[in-house]
Structure 1
Amino acid sequence: MATSTLVLPSTASLIDPFGRAITYLRVSVTDRCDFRCRYCMAEDMTFLPKAEVLSLEEIDRLASAFIRRGTRRLRLTGGEPLVRRGIIDLVRSLSRHLRTGALDELTLTSNGSQLARHAGDLAAAGVRRINVSLDTLDPEKFAHITRWGRLPQVLEGIEAATDAGLRIKLNMVALAGLNEDDVLPMLDFAARHGHDLTMIETMPMGDTGEDRVDRYLPLSRVRAQLEARFTLTDLAERTGGPARYVRIEETGQTLGFITPLTHNFCESCNRVRLTTTGQLYMCLGQDDQADLRAVVRAAPNDDHALDAAIEAAIARKPKGHDFDISRRGQAPAVRRHMSVTGG
């Protein structure tokens, strides 16, 4: 009598066509946000119906499939992830991979608005650091950039996260004519409170109702301005991500630059992005995607089918993006908003 052999899902690492190991997954848990930042969203957004959004259980299953295939870092994003109902339950569930050693880091990116009430639970669930988007310390500029945001609420959240033991990296989007004069105050704020700071060039994603050419501030210009005041030393530090780091010798701080437009950062890309609807984007700046939601809903108990879909998607990962912001009035490089893909 023939005996059947149990075939387990693959645990082989995911390698893209250019030999890059995919070890970092960013998951957008919601496209909704309580801010309307000018570089990210239009003021009057139409959000997805609930039926199109992955359930928390589906997010867990998909993330766990990537972790089984070698993902070591998992970041939850949005929209604003902390406005998703049940988000702390999801974090607690995913933290089991930290306890087993299968995952090195579970973190999230937030606008800080909900941190005051969630920081303690995040720390208790195993989160050790978070990224907080903060483009200025000027209350009026902050209200203008975020449209709906209140700076004191965010600063309170950052303080609560610090008190809970979370390490914070501040992400500052460089915006010409809006926050060019805020770099030094942000550096000082980060130094005083022990936070890291990374500056980011605005990316041409989605129609936000504004011409990004007017707001595009090349970080090469910011760096030149800083070099007129400080000594900047390039660091060899790499995280597999897009940031390039310098040390400010006079203060000892590390400052990151993310430059998708002035410098293509794709050669060492180790990440993919899963949207809140279950579409896997192999590149932030390309439109090619794989529908993993269809797979998990068609085969809720078949991890082999999910494995095959993930492998096929990674096999299509491109070498790099095609961001261009040089032509005034042109359509966005990609039509979807950053909040849909996950920041």
Structure 2
Amino acid sequence: MLIDTYGRKINYLRISVTDRCDLRCTYCIPKGFSEFEKPKHWLSFDEIERVVRQFAAMGTTHFRLTGGEPLLRKNIVELVHRLKRIDGVNDLSLSTNATQLAHYADDLYKAGLDRLNVSLDSLSQKGIQQISGYDAKQKILEGLEAAKEAGFKNIKINMVLLEGVNEDQIDNMVVFCMKNHFILRLIELMPMGETARKHHYINLQSVIKNIQYKYNLQPSKKTHGAGPARYWESLDGTFYLGYITPLSQHFCQTCNRIRMAVDGTLYMCLGDEHHFALAPILKSCASDEQLRQTIREAINLKPEQHDFIEKPLKIVRNMAKTGG
């Protein structure tokens, strides 16, 4: 088992397969940004598979494919198929904006993908265009419908709340998720890079209380994956509301995850600039044991907690660079 210097078990690896995206969400990718990683620096599927095998051998059980938009990575279904057949990979999920999901949902399900998270910050055409830069509503809804038809259950809808932008969409999103049996997760915006800091985050504590009261929700013991969300549920158990509060009520003491960028860079914390480059050892003649030892050394760089509150200007990289 991978255990960091603070005694936390690391059992969750999030893997970015591309930093490219077909949307330009205002808190994720700066307007006019073009400094994407060159494809020649991306880890190959063989390299990603090797990394996952070593993490799985050390007790990591949960893996998530992210981006950018992971469905833009060519042959992504093949990667899902390969990773799901690794011993120890108990849970493989994927985060997507759903614009390409209608084309891939059925194949992803057949390849063994366990779960889907869909980023959707508004249900209005105007809201989606304001946040993402594109009128993508129809594609997103078609993607969600295709995922349901393919057989995916408990699809999570991730809604990042932005002050003055989408607070008025919360009730609509609750009703939408109730109707479609989606799990809604409200997320506080993290100040990742200059583009995210242009927005003001919304403290979720009062928001959750209002929704809990309005829809008669009760605390839930279910976790729905390996992430940090805390959940409420309806009295009949048919609707779940999660909330992720990295600023108003951080969960650093139980953080169980690290991220790997598309070029193989390991980031131990979203709120810290410490990182570790795996690519050099992957492209050398290092043994699997040497690779595992390198991963252990990287884990030791994981800080006790983030500095988003004390040092909001600390993180200069954007979310797409890090991996979702």
TM-score (norm 2): 0.94
Partner of 2:323: 342
CA deviation map 1:239-298 (0-9, x unaligned): 552211112448852110101110111121111111111111111211111111111012
**Structure 1: gaps (5+ residues):** 1-12
Report the Cα distance in structure 1 between the residues aligned to 2:213 and 2:231, rounded to whole angstroms.
18
Report the Cα distance in structure 2 between the residues aligned to 1:250 and 1:75, rounded to whole angstroms.
30
Give the aligned residue type for 1:156.
E
**Structure 2: gaps (5+ residues):** none
2:214 to 220, 226, 229: 229
How many Å apart are 1:141 and its aligned residue?
0.7
Partner of 2:136: 150
Partner of 1:313: 298
Partner of 2:65: 76
How many Å apart are 1:149 and its aligned residue?
4.4
Partner of 1:125: 111
Report the Cα distance in structure 2 between the residues aligned to 1:149 and 1:296, rounded to whole angstroms.
40
SS in structure 2 at match of 1:19: coil
Partner of 2:177: 190
Report the Cα distance in structure 2 between the residues aligned to 1:28 and 1:201, rounded to whole angstroms.
21
1:107 to 80, 93, 98: 93
Give the aligned residue type for 1:30.
T
Report the Cα distance in structure 2 between the residues aligned to 1:178 and 1:251, rounded to whole angstroms.
31
The answer on whether the counterparts of 1:33 and 1:80 sit within 8 Å (CA) in structure 2 is yes
Task: Give the aligned length.
Answer: 321
Report the Cα distance in structure 2 between the residues aligned to 1:209 and 1:124, rounded to whole angstroms.
36
Name the stretch that deviates more: 85-94 or 109-118.
85-94
Partner of 1:88: 77
SS in structure 2 at match of 1:217: coil
Partner of 1:261: 247
Partner of 2:10: 22
Q: How does 1:235-314 map to 2 (within 5 A)?
A: 235-238=220-223, 239-249=225-235, 252-299=238-285, 302-314=287-299
Partner of 2:164: 177
Name the stretch that deviates more: 41-50 or 72-81.
41-50
CA deviation map 1:53-109 (0-9, x unaligned): 212221111122111111111100000000011211111111212xx4x21111100
The 1:149–1:41 alpha-carbon spacing in structure 2 relative to 1, beyond 3 Å, is farther
Report the Cα distance in structure 2 between the residues aligned to 1:310 and 1:210, rounded to whole angstroms.
31
SS in structure 1 at match of 2:184: strand
Name the Cα RMSD after superposition. Answer: 1.9
2:23 to 17, 35, 40: 35
> Sequence identity, in percent?
42
How many Å apart are 1:152 and its aligned residue?
0.4
The answer on whether the counterparts of 1:242 and 1:266 sit within 8 Å (CA) in structure 2 is no
Report the Cα distance in structure 1 between the residues aligned to 2:186 and 2:256, rounded to whole angstroms.
20
How many Å apart are 1:44 and its aligned residue?
1.2
Q: Does 1:56 align with 2:45?
A: yes
Give the aligned residue type for 1:55.
S
Give the aligned residue type for 1:80.
E
Name the stretch that deviates more: 47-56 or 194-203.
47-56
Report the Cα distance in structure 1 between the residues aligned to 2:287 and 2:173, rounded to whole angstroms.
49
Report the Cα distance in structure 2 between the residues aligned to 1:252 and 1:151, rounded to whole angstroms.
25
TM-score (norm 1): 0.89
Give the aligned residue type for 1:273.
R
Report the Cα distance in structure 2 between the residues aligned to 1:109 and 1:272, rounded to whole angstroms.
15
Give the number of the structure whose alpha-carbon radius of gyration is greater.
1
SS in structure 1 at match of 2:52: helix
